[in-house]
Amino acid sequence: AKASGRNCYVVFNQQMSADLAARIQLETELRQALLLQQFSLSLQPQVNLNSGKLCGFEALIRWQHPQRGIVAPDEFIPVLEQTQLIVDVGYWVFDRSCRYCAELIAAGLNDVTIAVNISADQFLHTKLPDRFGQILQRYGLSGHHFELEITESTLINNFSETLGMMYRLKAQGFRLAIDDFGTGYSSLNYLKQMPVDVIKIDKSFVVNMLDNPQDYQIVASTIAMVQKLGLQVVAEGVESLAVVKLLQQHQCDFAQGYYFSMPLAETQLLAFVQQVLQQ
């Protein structure tokens, strides 16, 4: 028994060091990914449910790994966050979003809004408003074309710092959104005190809202509450026309999901926009 116990220990230990080695490898590769231009941004369309028209896009990062192909953000964003690499990658994401925005405006989408995901450490980077301001200037843009998405955990953990940063960014014209709403410890009391423009209902509630009465109730009451607070509401994870119709009945403002479009890579984006403009 002792021997096998020892074997188990050894196996476990090897597994642990294999995991650690894989993790160090991943960090090393992520450090190089920015320099080697392996990141790209895909844009997923957002639709105004009142007019039925395209109103903007959410920018979603992609990593083209030389051996593994496309790696999902859920696999590498947490590592970028733990290593602080997210700060530099975040500036790259905003720069790339501005370049897309300028291209979309030039193509004829004058009022386009691009939603950009901001991690907690990025949001609390003191230089964020200055750096974003410089990037905007480089492309001749103003902040009102951008919606910055933060999650509930950013707010809850650093309430007063977050609030201060929100006011600085609002002064530059940025719209602010709370992402993944309903999954964290959102307090309505916090929400009331913050200069937030938009709430995004998490896709985990939206995808099943036709079959699951609880999810349906959560979505319906979130829409009603958000509108009573005078804010706008986006449903993400919209995969069918039936869900679109239900959201319209509840006067949800905007929707995003596979029913309308997958996130679009650069090569697909202009074709998509030309098709929209011809309608």
The DSSP bridge pattern shows strands 113-117 and 69-71 to be unpaired
Binding to ligand C2E (CB under 6 A): which residues in 40-59? 44
Round to whole Å and give the CA distance between 51 and 55. Answer: 10
Site string for ligand C2E, 151-190 (x = CB under 6 A): ----------------------------xx----------
Query: What minimum distance in Å lies between the beta carbon of 173 and ligand C2E?
Result: 20
Interface with ligand C2E includes 95 (CB under 6 A)?
Answer: no
257 touches ligand C2E (CB under 6 A):
yes
Window of 47-55, 95-103, 178-186, 221-229 that interacts with Ca ion by CB under 5 A? 178-186
211 binds, among ligand C2E, Ca ion, none (CB under 5 to 8 A by kind): none
Give the span between the Cα atoms of 49 and 32, in whole angstroms: 41
DSSP state of 257: S
- Of ligand C2E, Ca ion, none, which one does residue 61 interact with (CB within 5 to 8 Å by kind)? ligand C2E
- What is the closest distance, in whole angstroms, from the C-beta atom of residue 83 to Ca ion in the complex? 20
Q: Is the dihedral of CA 271, 275, 276, 277 positive or negative?
A: positive
* Cβ at position 147, least distance to Ca ion in Å: 10
Sign of CA dihedral 183, 39, 131, 121: positive
Buried b (16+ CB within 10 A) or exposed e, 61-83: bebeeeeeeebeeeebbeebbee
Report whether 252 contacts 220 (CB < 8 A). Answer: no
Q: Which amino acid is at 195?
A: P
Residue 222 in the binding site for ligand C2E (CB under 6 A): no
Total site size for ligand C2E, rule CB under 6 A: 21
149 is a contact residue toward Ca ion (CB under 5 A): yes
Q: Which residue is nearest to ligand C2E (CB)?
A: 257
